Amino acid sequence: MTMSQSTAALEPSNHPVPRDFRHHHAIIGAGFCGLGVAAAFQRHGIPYHQFEADDDVGGNWYHGVYQGVHIISSRKTTEYTDWPMPADWPDFPSAEQMLTYLHGYADHWNLRPHIAFQTRIEHVRPFGEDRHRGQWELTLAGGERRIYGGVIVANGHHWHRRMPSYRGTFAGDIIHSKDYKHRGMLAGKRVLVIGGGNSACDIAVEAARSAQSAHISMRRGYWFMPKTMFGRPTVEFIRPWLPVASQRILLKALIRVIVGRYRDYGLPHPDHNIFERHPTINSELLHFLRHGRIVPHTDVDRYHGHTVHFQDGTAAEIDLIICATGYHVSFPFVAEEVVEWNDSGMPNLIASLLPPQYKNIYFFGITQPRYGAGPLISAGAEAVCTAIDTQKRLKHPLGAVLERLGATAPTTWLRDPHEVMRTMKRSQAIMPQLPQVEEQLMGPKHPGQVARAFVAMAPSILRDTFGRRSEQPSHR
């Protein structure tokens, strides 16, 4: 299909019969993740259409963050591997720079002509009676229906607000951190931020500078790390070859030297080991706590008018509460039967990507790396291309085959980026070999089945892992 034909296909239609694009994939979302997948599809010649609800690319970095925010992961650990950020940019670029970067990426890979902007996907469901055919019916805003040969869901996970609830009634305003946009919203107000993660601490620091008074309430202890150590971004300090146990010992020792005890700042000691939850990377919170410009509190107990009572019996007068209490991951437009959720609220997506019962649908970018997203998006997008190619040669859904080989669904949103990279490298080598062992793997289960499959695949995996030169597209 030529470019102009492809672009024309993006125009909405009122046709009553679903339009047939079963040789195309649909990418839902043109944020950091969706753009990375689209670029990989361009490189691999996979025909696709991309749908974006907003009027431009960039997702969270276009419409989702407050003025003045800077990334907490560093420039080098956040850029895509196929498009570097300018070398003269700072270690921690601003939201504006992130958006400029994503615009540059979209232009570099000529992604815009393939994106239908202001086109929200309202519904995605398996097409036809036989779900194993792996075709998908999409309903666009406006009602048009289309059939696609595959779908990549890249709708982001920083929009479905998680709000806490406490006893009593609060007489001031309560908003989620997603709805905090600029410092003007804080001026002259007594502000309480609930939470201890990265957004909570960033906003508490903004309040320390702009509000009448600034408070922060945390229900547990967090690991707070400075943004830089020894003059380098902290996230770059951790080397991939260093085992997690050693990373923990090293970081704890450095925090003890640089920060000291959290209790000396009025904060509880963390109730979990470092990296078991998302670390909070912020150099200014502790500074402002020490200067008395942010007052720390325990969890909220109840509200009464403008008074917020805390669990330790203290209270504060507050005008504005900002809940930096995180997000739910959800795909509200995907037919309910496609993704099963367990009791802990985690989706049954094998390798954090594939529902085991369905073919040709990929949920992209649902986990949170401990550092920047770009390198994982680039590697993940390549893995999706390999998965698409592999699925064509399999009878069963790829997720089901990988599950038989021992791949699992995530048990936590937070992932060690180095481990994810290693897993993706292994999967890239294993996936192309799966068709040759599919029958063996998917037959009745018996001991040694998986081991024999690995032995059968071993020569090809070794050749692919160590014998192939990686092909990186040229940088700008």
**What is d(CA 137, CA 361) in angstroms, rounded to the nearest whole number?**
11
Residue 353 binding ligand FAD, by CB under 6 A: no
Supply the minimum distance, in Å, between the C-beta of residue 68 and ligand FAD.
11
Q: Mask: binding to ligand FAD, 314-333, rule CB under 6 A, as x and -?
A: -------------------x
Q: Mask: binding to ligand FAD, 266-305, rule CB under 6 A, as x and -?
A: ----------------------------------------
Backbone angles phi, psi at 24, to 5 degrees: -115, 155
Nearer to ligand FAD, 176 or 404 (CB): 176
Residue nearest to ligand FAD (CB): 31
Please tell me the number of Cα atoms within 13 Å of 459 on its side-chain side.
Answer: 2
Of the candidate residues 115, 151, 152, 154, the single one contacting ligand FAD (CB under 6 A)? 154
Residues of this chain, 104-133, that bind ligand FAD according to CB under 6 A: 120-121
Nearer to ligand FAD, 331 or 358 (CB): 331
Nearer to ligand FAD, 233 or 355 (CB): 233
Supply the minimum distance, in Å, between the C-beta of residue 152 and ligand FAD.
11
Residues of this chain, 356-415, that bind ligand FAD according to CB under 6 A: 365, 372-373
- Give the interface size with ligand FAD as a residue count (CB under 6 A): 32
Q: Which stretch binds ligand FAD (CB under 6 A): 155-163, 216-224, 292-300, 314-322?
A: 155-163
Residue 102 binding ligand FAD, by CB under 6 A: no
Residues of this chain, 50-89, that bind ligand FAD according to CB under 6 A: 51-54, 59-61, 64-65, 69, 71-73, 78
Binding region for ligand FAD (CB under 6 A): 28-34, 51-54, 59-61, 64-65, 69, 71-73, 78, 120-121, 154-156, 158, 199, 333, 365, 372-373
